[in-house]
Chains A and B, each alone.
Chain A
Amino acid sequence: MNRWTNVKLIWMKELRSLKRDKKALLTIFLPILIYPVIMMFFFGVSSLVEGNLGEETRRIAYVGTVSSDIQEVVESDEKIQVVDINNQSEESAINESLVDVVIRETQSNDAKALSINYNSTIDGSNRGKNLVLSLLKEHKEKLILESVQALDYEQSVLELVSIETVEVTEESSTNRVIASVLGVVAPFILIMYSVIGIYSITSDLSAGEKERFTLETIFSVPVPKEDIIIGKLFAGVSVGLLSGITNILSMFPIAYAIASMIPDISVSFNPLLPIYILIMLLPVMFLACAVMLGCGLFAKTYQEAQTYGAFVMMAFMLPGYIGMVPDIEYSTLIAFLPVTNAMLAMREAFIGDFPLLQIAITLVFNCLLSVVSIALMAKVFTSESVIFGSPKTFFLKRKSIKGGAHE
C-alpha cells in the first residue's frame, strides 16, 4: 500500500508539472484545432476541383467513319466538343493534348466495335475517357433493353438470373463495411497518437530532469527509486492516453461530416468496446513508455533523448502500418507481433469478432514484454553509472572497471 502511495505521489507530481507547462499542453491539444482546419481545407479544395471539372469541356475526335447514332449519343453531352485532328496520329494528338479522346469504329465478325483511345497519365484525357465510356455504356444498355422489349416474351431474357445478397449479421452491409473500415482506421490513430503523446513527454521526464539537475532533488526524498520511475511511467502513459483520446475525439467532426453524406447509416457498437480497446491498448502503451523512458535515461540532454525517442517511435510505427495492410489476417503467428497484434485485435472487435486464442496470446505476450521492458527501465534508472556517470561503464565487463580505492 505504501509503495502505491509513493507511485501515486510521483505520478500526480509529474502531471501537475505538465499542467503548468502550457507549451506541452498545446502540443497535446493541437489536434482539436488542426483536424477541423484540415477538413475544411480538403473539402474546400476538392469541391473547388469538382466545380472546375464540371465546367471543363472534353475534346473528342473521330477517326474514320463513326456511325451517326454513336456520334449523336456522344455529342448529346454539353461538355463534349468535337475537334478535328487532321491526319495526325491518334497517339501524338492525345499526347500533345490537342484532343482528350479519339473514337474509332471497326467492324469485325459482324459486330461493331468502338475503340476509345486515351492516355491514362493525362488527367484530362482520363476524365474524357470516363465521360465517353459512361455515355456509350448507357446507350448500349438502352439499346439492349429496347430490343429485348421488342421480343415480347413472357420471361425477359435480362431477368433469367436474379441475385440477392443477405447479410448474416443483423446490420446492413453498408454499416458492416463502415465498421470494418473504422476498425482499421480508429485503432491506428489511437495507437499512433498515443505513442506520439508518450514521445512528447518522456524526453522531459528522463533526460530533461537530468539536464535541469532535479533528479538529485527527487532522489533525496525518502522514496525508493523504483517507485519514482513507476510514477513517471504512469505519468507518461496517462499523457499518451490523453493524446490518443483527444485525437480520436477531434476526428469526430470529420467522421460526422462524412457519415452525413451516406444515407441510412447507423453503426452501433458494443458499449463495452471502448473498455476492450483500452485493455488492448494499455500493454502497448506501457511498453512504448518504458522503452522510451529507458532510452531517454541514457541521454544526457533533452535533445538527445528526443532523437532516441524518434527511433523508438519509428519502431512502433512500422508494426502499426503493418496492421493497416488490408489483407493481413489475425493469425496465431501475428498475435506474437507486438503493436500489430493489438491493432488487429481491435479491428476484429469492431466487426464483432473475438478470437479467444489470439486475444489471449496478444494480451499475455504484450503484458510480458511490457513487464520486461519496465524491469529493464527500472534497472537503468537505479544504475548510478547511467544516471550520473558516463554511459560507457554500463554493461561492460567487471574487469574493465577500474578500482577507484587504490588511488
Chain B
Amino acid sequence: MNRELIGILIIKELRQILRNRRVIIGLLLPLILYPALFGIYSSVVSNAEQSAETEISNIVVTSAVPEMLMDMLNEDSRLSVTHESGDLSSKIREKTYDVAIEYTLQKEQHQFKFYYDSGRSSGRKAYDRIMDSVDIFEEASQYSFLEERSKDISLLNPFLIEEEDVANQAERSGKSLGDIIPMILTISALLSVVNFAIEMTTGEKEAGTLETLFSVPVTRSELVTSKLITCILLGLLSMVISLIAMMIILPSIIQQGDLSFRMTFETIGILILTLIPLILMGAGASLGIGMFANSYKESGAYITPLTFLFMIPAYVGLIPGVELNEMLASIPIVNSTLLIKSVFLNTFNMTYFSIGFVSNMIVSILSLIFMFKVFGAEKILFGSGKSFSLRLNRKEIKKKKYIEPQDAVLLVVIAVILFIYAGGVASNILGIVNGTIFIQVMAFASIPLFLTWYMKADIKATIGMKVPKVIPSIGGFFLWVGALSFMLVYQVLIAEYVPEVPTMAGIEEVFNDLSVTMQFIFIALTPGICEEILFRGLALKPIEDKLGAKRAVLITALLFSLMHLDIVRLIPTFLLGCVLGLVTLASGSILPAMGLHILNNAFAAFGLQYFELSVVALLIIGCIAFSIGLIILFKKPFDRPLKEDYNVDNK
C-alpha cells in the first residue's frame, strides 16, 4: 500500500466532504441547535412547574370539619376553601373544584372522605396538599388522646430514623450527569460517522464518481483505507463539536453546579480508549452499508435498523441498578456507557475496562471485515484476493493444504467470542473449574478443529503434529527463559501503578481447594494444549503461508494477548505469544510451544513463590537467555532462514 497515495486520497476526501455545505451545516448545527432547543424546553418546563406550584387548588368542604384542620387549610396559601353542600361530583368533573371534603365524627373517630378525579393532575395535587395538613391533624389528635389518658406520647415514636447522605452536592450532580452523558457520548461516537460514510460511499455512487475513482491507478484497498481514515477523522471532529455544544448547555442544567469531575490525562485517555473502538465500529458498519446501497434512499432504509442496533444497548446503561460486572463488560456498547459512567462516579475498574476494550475491539474488527468485504478488498487485511471460504454447503469447498488467512483470523475471532460469552454459562452449569476447562476444550480446540476440517484443509500439516527439530527447540527454551525474566521485571515495575494485578474474581478461592493434579490440569495443561492448537496450530501456518513468518508471528501473538482480556498484562502476553510462535515455526512442530506454554503457566502458578530475584538479576538473566535463544534460532540473518527451513520441510 502506498502511504503517500493514501495521504492524497484522504485530503481529496476531506476537501470533497468539507466543500459540501450541507455537511458543514450538519456539523456545526449542534453548536446552535442543542443550546437553543435545551433552552426553550427547560424554560417551558420550569415555567410550567412554577405555575403548577403557585396555582391555587380549589377545595370545597361539605360539612364542618374540626377547627384545627380548618385553620390549617385556611392558612395554606395554596388552597382556596369554600363551603357548599350537596352532591359535588359533577362540579369536580367540571373543574369548579379539585377536591371535596366530607367529614363525620363517629365514636371519637374522625372520618374523612375525599372526592376527586385521580386522572387529573390538579386533582392529585390538591389531594396531596390537603394531606399535608391532615397528617399533622392526625398526629396532634393522637397526642392529645394519649395526653388525656396521661400516657407517654413516645410510645408512638419509639425511635427516630434519620437518613444521612455522605455524598456532597458535587457528587450528586456528578451522578445525574453520569447517567446521561455516557449514553450521549456512546451514541454520538457510534453515529457521528454515519453521515460522512454515506456521503463518501453512496454519495459517490449516486454521483457516478466512484467509477472514475476506480479508473485511476489507485488500488481498492488504498481507496477504502483512505475513506475509513477520513471518516474517523470527521467523526472525531463532530464528536468534539457535540461535546463543546454540551459544555455550553451543562451549566444551565446543573444550576448550583460545581462539578467535581475534572479532565485529567487519565480520564481523557480512558474516554478515548473506550470511544475509539465505537467510532471504528460505526465507521466500518456505515461505510459497508453505504457501499452496499445503491442510492441514498436505500442506504437510509438500512441505516435506520443500524441506528436502533446501536442505540438500544447504549440505553441499557441507563436502567437503574445496572452495574458494571464481568458479563456486562463483555457486551459491546453496553459496556461503553457503563465504563464512562464509572469514570464519572470514580468507580473505574481496570479489569472491566480490559474486558470491555477487547470485546469492543473484536466487534469493531468484525465490522471492518464486513466493510472490506463489501468493498471487495479483503486482501488489504489478509493479503489474498480470495474471500471467506466458509460455505454452508461443504461440497462447494475445495480441498486445500491450508485454510485462507482471513478464515484463520475469523476462526480465532469466533473462538474468542465463544470463550467470552459461553464461558460464563459453562461456569454456571459445571462450576468454575470444569466450566473453564470445558469451554477451553470446546472453543479453542474442538470447534476450530471441526471448522478447519469442514473447510477441507490438511489438519495434520496445519497443526504441525510431528517430532520437533531438536536445536530450535532448545533455542526456544532459552528464549522463553529470557521472556519469562522480562515478564517478571514488568510485573515488578507495574506493581507500583496497579495495586493488585486483576485476576478473575472468585477463582482464587476455588483454585486453592483443588488437588495439585487438578490445579495443574486447570491452570497449565488445558490452556497449554488448547490455546496452542488454536493460535500456533490452526492460525499460525495459514497466515505464515500467505503473509510470511514475521507477520504471522506478530498477528497470532496479538490475537493471543487480546484474548486474555487483560490490558495490564497485554505486553508480557504478547511477548510470550511471539516466543511461542517463533519456536513453532523454527522447530516445525507445535509440541515445543505446547511444552513451553504448560511450563510457563505451571511456573506462574507454582514456581513463582520459590524465586526471589532482584530486578537487576532478572534483567541480566533475561538478556543472556534471550540472546542465546535468538542466536540459536537465527543463525542466519533474520526472517529468511525461518521461511526457507519451513518451506523445505513441507516440500
Contact = CB atoms under 8 A, between A and B. Distances in A.
Nearest to B116: A168
A177 B119 contact: yes
Given A24-B301, A160-B145, A173-B118, A168 B93 contact: yes
Interface string A137-167: 1001001100110010101011111111111
Interface residues on A, range: 35 or more
B386 interface: no
B119 A50 contact: no
B110 A161 contact: yes
A364 interface: no
Interface residues of B, number: 81
Contacts of A41: 312, 316
A149 to B, nearest CB: 11
Contacts of A210: none
A215 B4 CA distance: 45
A116 B162 CA distance: 6
Interface stretch (A230-238, A300-308, A399-407): A300-308
Contacts of B120: 180, 351
B288 interface: no
B635 interface: no
A127 B322 CA distance: 12
Contacts of A38: 308, 312
A117 B166 contact: yes
Nearest to A310: B26
Nearest to A70: B159
Given A119-B167, A303-B203, A137 B112 contact: no
Contacts of B114: 163-166
A52 B158 CA distance: 35
A72 interface: no
Given A113-B159, A118-B163, A120-B167, A162 B112 contact: yes
Nearest to A108: B160
A177 B118 contact: yes
Contacts of B111: 161-162, 164
B311 to A, nearest CB: 10
A121 interface: yes
B154 interface: yes
A160 B119 contact: no
Nearest to A171: B119
B53 to A, nearest CB: 9
Contact of A111 (B93, B116, B160, B298): B160
A325 interface: yes
Contacts of A97: 347
Given A116-B164, A148-B155, A176-B119, A42 B319 contact: yes
A255 interface: no
Contacts, number: 221
Nearest to B153: A157
B117 A168 contact: yes
A363 to B, nearest CB: 21
Given A45-B319, A118-B165, A140-B159, A167 B117 contact: yes
Given A144-B156, A162-B111, A314-B33, A121 B167 contact: yes
Given A30-B305, A41-B312, A204 B297 contact: yes
A157 to B, nearest CB: 5
Interface stretch (A79-87, A88-96, A290-298, A372-380): A88-96
Nearest to B202: A303
Contacts of B134: 161, 163
B138 interface: yes
Name which of A121, A176, A327 has the most chain B CB atoms within 10 A of its CB: A121
Contacts of B149: 151, 153
Interface in A41-63: 41-42, 45-46, 49-50, 52-53
Interface string B75-119: 000000000000001001100000000000001111111111111
Given A24-B297, A121-B345, A168-B89, A50 B321 contact: yes
A34 interface: yes
A46 B319 contact: yes
B397 interface: no
Contact of A325 (B26, B33, B44, B117): B44
Contacts of B164: 115-118
Name which of A111, A116, A164, A327 has the most chain B CB atoms within 10 A of its CB: A327
Name which of A70, A119, A137, A155 has the most chain B CB atoms within 10 A of its CB: A119
Contact of A121 (B138, B175, B304): B175
A9 to B, nearest CB: 24
A27 B296 CA distance: 13
Interface in B323-347: 323, 325, 345, 347
Name which of A127, A129, A166 has the most chain B CB atoms within 10 A of its CB: A166
A327 B57 CA distance: 14
Interface of A is mostly: helix
Contacts of B389: none
Interface string A7-24: 000000000000001011
A94 B40 CA distance: 40
Nearest to B308: A34
Contacts of A151: 149, 151
A159 B110 CA distance: 9
A169 interface: yes
B137 interface: yes
B141 interface: yes
A112 interface: yes
A318 interface: yes
A322 interface: yes
Given A42-B319, A116-B164, A161-B112, A327 B48 contact: yes
B515 interface: no
Name which of B45, B107, B146, B159 has the most chain A CB atoms within 10 A of its CB: B159
B48 A307 contact: no
A208 B297 CA distance: 9
Given A116-B162, A133-B163, A327-B52, A165 B301 contact: no
A261 interface: no
B470 interface: no
A275 interface: no
A41 B40 CA distance: 34
B298 A23 contact: yes
A179 B120 CA distance: 10
A112 B137 contact: no
A141 to B, nearest CB: 10
Name which of B51, B52, B120 has the most chain A CB atoms within 10 A of its CB: B120
24 contacts: A23-B301, A27-B304, A34-B305, A49-B319, A112-B160, A114-B162, A119-B167, A121-B178, A123-B321, A137-B161, A140-B159, A144-B156, A144-B158, A160-B108, A161-B112, A164-B114, A165-B115, A168-B115, A302-B297, A304-B22, A314-B33, A327-B51, A327-B121, A328-B48
Given A34-B308, A143-B158, A180-B121, 15 more contacts: A23-B297, A30-B305, A46-B321, A70-B159, A127-B321, A133-B161, A148-B155, A160-B108, A161-B141, A164-B111, A165-B113, A169-B119, A307-B25, A327-B49, A328-B44
Interface of B: 22, 25-26, 33, 37, 40-41, 44-45, 48-49, 51-52, 89, 92-93, 107-121, 127, 134, 137-138, 141-142, 145-146, 149, 151, 154-167, 171-172, 174-175, 178, 199, 203, 295-298, 300-301, 304-305, 308, 312, 316, 319-323, 325, 345, 347
A-B CB proximity, top 4 nearest:
A176-B119, A327-B52, A23-B301, A351-B119
